[in-house]
Structure 1
């Protein structure tokens, strides 16, 4: 059952579902970069094979209708993935997570993508809430969510393990927007 679009566009970004052929470019762009993944739920990929398995999991999630992991590219270079934006559906809520290659940081691309998908979701009868979580030390992600129109709703202590920071659960901020 499809609940989110298979692709969408903003003024500067094309977002589409992943393909197996994305693995090498994603590996080179960010999945192997410790700086990029420092606040994510996974460690840097050590090989393209690891990124291929990740893409396979993404595709399986799409087929199951539980995950919509969009590969992001600029309109100028549509075949050069720059990051991903994943949406997970649970009843009336869409939960988002994202990652962007460092050469594109600070250009407002991720807030643009997050805002576009969240605004679309909130026009759908099924969804009342879009949310995201980020490590309390991840200032860039906090800015991304605020620029995308999300409101910081609270702090969740010892909420999730970010393995590149600590083996212990860390505090996260919860952000949301509702209709």
Structure 2
């Protein structure tokens, strides 16, 4: 499978819209999520130092290969909420990832977004499995994955580095679902 840049489709839910992120979204992304140490606590990245770093992430990391990234916004006003996407961890598997601004936590928004991602991944006939992992101390993310029908498959010892928690790999919970 060739790694070609993707332009993911716009996906619309009851309260949210997922669309391609643009460099002019950098300020809203920086203010709403990327600079917040609480948002990045269980992420693979550290808080952004300034909006220029957010611009670099948008232009150099988002949608530059075959793994799609979406910006999450409110459906009615277009206000920035967060980002989401997936990567192909194997030719037949997509691994979900997402982040949401603290203002939007505990409102069921990420469950709606994750379900939109799952539904989109299922449209691809080459996808047989959807998976995601989260830090063992992140019950919010674990709840999102359960609500979207992913099953807890186990605890992965020393699986991923979360730079905001330290330099050593941390334990994660792995969730998955066969879709074919």
TM-score, normalised by the number of residues in structure 1 = 0.92
Write the deviation string for residues 57-88 of structure 1: whole angstroms up to 9, x where unpaired: 234xx2421x211100011221x211011111
SS of equivalent residue, structure 2 residue 68: strand
Any stretches of 5+ residues in structure 1 without a counterpart? none
Give the 3 Å change call, closer, same or farther, for CA 63–46 of structure 1 in structure 2: closer
1:110 alignment counterpart: 110
Task: Say yes or no: does 1:171 pair with 2:171.
Answer: yes
2:87 alignment counterpart: 88
Q: CA deviation at 1:122?
A: 2.1
CA distance in structure 2 between the partners assigned to 1:64 and 1:116 by the alignment: 21
Q: How does 1:7-156 map to 2 (within 5 A)?
A: 7-59=10-62, 62-65=63-66, 67-78=67-78, 80-89=79-88, 90-156=90-156
Aligned partners of 2:7 and 2:20 also within 8 Å: no
Question: CA RMSD for the aligned pairs?
Answer: 1.5
CA distance in structure 2 between the partners assigned to 1:9 and 1:100 by the alignment: 17
Aligned partners of 1:18 and 1:58 also within 8 Å: no
Q: CA deviation at 1:167?
A: 1.0
Any stretches of 5+ residues in structure 2 without a counterpart? none
Q: CA deviation at 1:4?
A: 8.0
Deviant stretches of 4+, over 3 Å? 1-5
SS of equivalent residue, structure 2 residue 61: helix
Tell me the matched-pair count.
175
Q: CA deviation at 1:178?
A: 1.1
TM-score, normalised by the number of residues in structure 2 = 0.92
Aligned partners of 2:8 and 2:20 also within 8 Å: no
